[in-house]
Structure 1
Amino acid sequence: MDAVVKQDQLKVPVFKNRNFILLLVSALFSSPGYYVYLIGAEWLMLSINDNRFYFGMLFFAASVPRLLLLTTGGLIADRFNKRTILFCSDFSRAILIAILLSFIWMDSITAVHLIILAACFGISDAFSYPAMNSLTPVLLEDEQLQRGNSFMQMTTQISPILGPALGGTLIALLGFKGVFTVALVMLLLASVAVLFIRLKEDKKDAERPSPWEDFKEGWNYARKNELVVSIVVMAFFLNFFFSGPLTIGIPIMVKDVFHGDAVNLATVQTSLGIGALIGAIVLATIKLKKPGFIMIGGLIALGVIYTITGFSIHIYLTAVLVALMTFTTQFVNIPLITMLQQTTDKHMLGRMMSFLMTVSTGFVPVSFVVTSVLIAIGISIQTIIIVSGIIITLIAIYNMRNKKILGFKFE
C-alpha cells in the first residue's frame, strides 16, 4: 500500500500539493501523447487499407487485453507502488511507438502491425488506468476529491484537443514519421515526471494475502456495494451502444461520408476534447449536491445529441454535436468516479476502479466487432449511430427509477 510523505497535508491546498501537481504534469504529457499516436494510427490504417473491417479491429485489438487484464491491474495497483506502475506504462508505450517508427522507416508497415501494436497499448492501459485513478485519492483529502478529479479530467481532456490538433497538423506537414516521433517524446517526458512523485511503502503491508484472496476480497466488497452494482449494470449496456459506433464511426464518417483529410479528422476529434474540457471546468467551479440526478440527466442529453449526430450532413455540424456530447459526458463521468471514491475504502480503490472499468466495459470489444461487421455488410455508420442513440436515451430514462443513484449525496 502506498502512503504519501505528508507535510501537514490537511493544510495543503490542491495546487500546492507537490505530488498532485506532478501527477497533473505527467498526465499533460501522457494523455496528449497517446492521442497524437492514436490519430496517426487511425489515419495510417485508413490510408494503407480500404477494408474498414480492419479499422474496427484496430480498436478491438486494444480493448480485449485491456478488458482481460484490468482486474490484474487493479490488484497490482493495490499491492505495489503506483508511481512505478505509471512510469512503466508510459515508458513501454514510448518503446512501442519506437517499434512502429522502425516499420515506417523501413516502409514495411501493414494493417497487422498496427493491430498488434494496438493490442500492446491495450495491455499498458490495463495497468495505468487503476493506478492513476487510485493514486488521486491517496494524494488528496476526501473534501478535495471533486475538485482534484475535475482538474485531472481537465488535463486528460486537454488531450483530445492538443493531441488530434497537433497530430493532424504533423501528418499534413511532416507525415507519419513526424507525428509518431512527437508522440514518443511526449510519453518519455510523462514517464520522467511521474518518477518525482514522493511515495513510500506502508510498513503494515509487509504481510499480504495472496493475489487470489485479494481478488475475492475485492469481488465480495463490490458485490455488497449496491451503488457500485447499480452504476456498473447501467454502464455495461450503455458502453456497448456508445463506444463502438462513436469510436469507429467518427474517422469513417470523416473519410468516407465527408471525404475529408487528416486535418478534418483532427477538427472533429479536437471538438471532442473542447467539449469535455469545458464540462470539466464547469464542474471544478461548482459543488454538486445531488450528483445522481445530474448523472442521469447528462445521460439523457447524451443519448439525444448522439441520435442527432447520426443525421448530420456536414463535418462542422458534426464537430459541434460531438463537442456537446463530451460536455454532457463530464456530468456523468466526474460524479460517477467521485461517488465511487467516496464510498470505497482507500485500500480497495485500485480493485474497485479496475472492477468498474472491467465490468462496465465488458461489452466494448463486442461493440467494436458488431459495429465493424455491420459496416462490412453494408449498413451505414449513420444508421448505426441513430439507433444506438435512441437506445441510450431509453436506458437513461429507465434509470430515473433508480433510487440508489438518485439518492446519493456528496459529503
Structure 2
Amino acid sequence: MKLDVLLGHLLVGTLEHDPATNRFAFAYAQQWLRAKDCFALSPQLPLFELPGQPADAHSAAVRQFFENLLPEGQALDAAASSHRISKSNLMGLLVALGGETAGALRLRLDDVGTEEREGVRPVSDAELSERIRLRPQLPFSVWDGKVRLSIAGFQDKMALYRSTAGWAIVEGVDLASTHILKPEPVSSALAGLTSNEFVCMRLAKAAGLPVAPVELIHVPEPVLVVTRFDRRVREGRIERLHIIDGCQALGLSSGFKYERPYGDVRDVRQIRDGASLPRLFALLADTAQPAAQRLQLLRWTIFQVLIGNTDAHAKNLSFFSGPEGLSLAPAYDLVCALAFDRQALAGTYAMAIGDAFSEDELCPYEWANFAEACGLNPKLVGRELTRLAKATLAALDRELGEAIRLGAKAEPVAMLEQVIRTSCRRQIDMAPEIPSAC
C-alpha cells in the first residue's frame, strides 16, 4: 500500500505500509530533494535516512507522524464507521481523510492518473443549525454521507470555506477550508464552552499573545468561528501552510500528548514519558530565532496558568515548519478549564510547571524548577509572569463586557472571571520570589 504525500501540487514523498510486517516507511521524492527550498516535514522525519536507524524505529517515527493527522474521539469513530475501516488501519483512514488535513499535507493513492475532484457545496445557517441539533443521532463530522474532517481533537468541529456567498464545504487542490466552526458541546457538563473559549482567546490577544482570530456567531445556536492560521488567500487561491503539532515535533503518538500518559492515579502518576515543557523548549534551541521563539513559548505557558487551562497539552500547540526550521504558530484552544466541573475537564495540568501538576502545587520554587529544566532565566520568568498577569487583569473588565455584547453568555463568563482574577493575583504575589527560590 502506497500513498503520495503532497504539499499543494508538489509531490513531497511516498508513504508505504507493508501489512506482512506492519512496518511503515516514508521516503522523500527526488524532485523534492532537488528543490532549492526543500525542508523536512518534521524533525522526526529528516530529509536523509539516519545512518544505522533500525527499520522498526523508522516505522514508529513514520506512524507517529501520520497518525497525528487524524482526528480523535467521536470524529475518529465516525470516520472509521462511515468508511467501514478499522480505527487501527492508519493507511485506510489516511486515504479517506487525507484530502485536507491540519496544515498543508494532502495524501492520495499513488496513481499519477488520478483526477482530483473539485467542488463547492454551500452550507446555509439553517442547515448548520439543524446539524448541530442532530448531533446526538448524526456525527457532526459526517456530511452527505462522508466524513469531512481531519483535525485533531475531541470537541465537535467542522472545517468550512467562507466567501461572500457564505459557508461551503470545498474539495480540490486550490480550494480548502478557511475556518473551523465549533458549536457548544452536546454534554451539559461543558455548557458555555464556546463563550469560555471566545473570552480566553480575546484575553490572550489583549495581553499581547499571537492568537488565531475568533468570532462568535449564532445560527441561532452559538458557534465559535476560528480563522485558520494554516491557510492564506492569494490571488483567489487558498494556499495551505505546513504546520505540525507538538506531538509530531517530538515524535510522540497522540496518546502521549499529556506528560503523564498513563493518568494521574497513584500507581502511575510518577511516570512522565509524555510530552513536557522542557522537551518543547529544547525543540526551539536550533530554530532561526531561538530567543524569540522560546520567549513566545514561555508566554504561552504562563497564560495557560493564568486562565486555568489545565488541558494545554502538546496537540494544543503547533509549529510552522519550513526551510528555516520550526517557528511557533498562533495560540488556539484556549479555555478556562477550571471554570468547569472536575468531572468534565481535569483539574491537573496536562504538562507540569516544574513538578507542579496543579494550581495548588504551583509555588515560586516550582516556577524556578521549571526555569532551570527549560533553560530559562528565573528573573525572566518572574518578570513575564508579573507582566502577563497584570496585562490580563487590565484587559479583563473590558473584554468581558465586550464579549457579552458580542453574544457570549453571562453565566460562563462570570465563572471564568472568578477563576482568572484569583489566578492572576496569586501569580503576581509569587512572581517576585521566583529568582530567589532557585
Higher helix share: 1
Higher strand share: 2
- TM-score tier after normalising by the smaller chain length: under 0.3
- Structure number, greater radius of gyration: 2
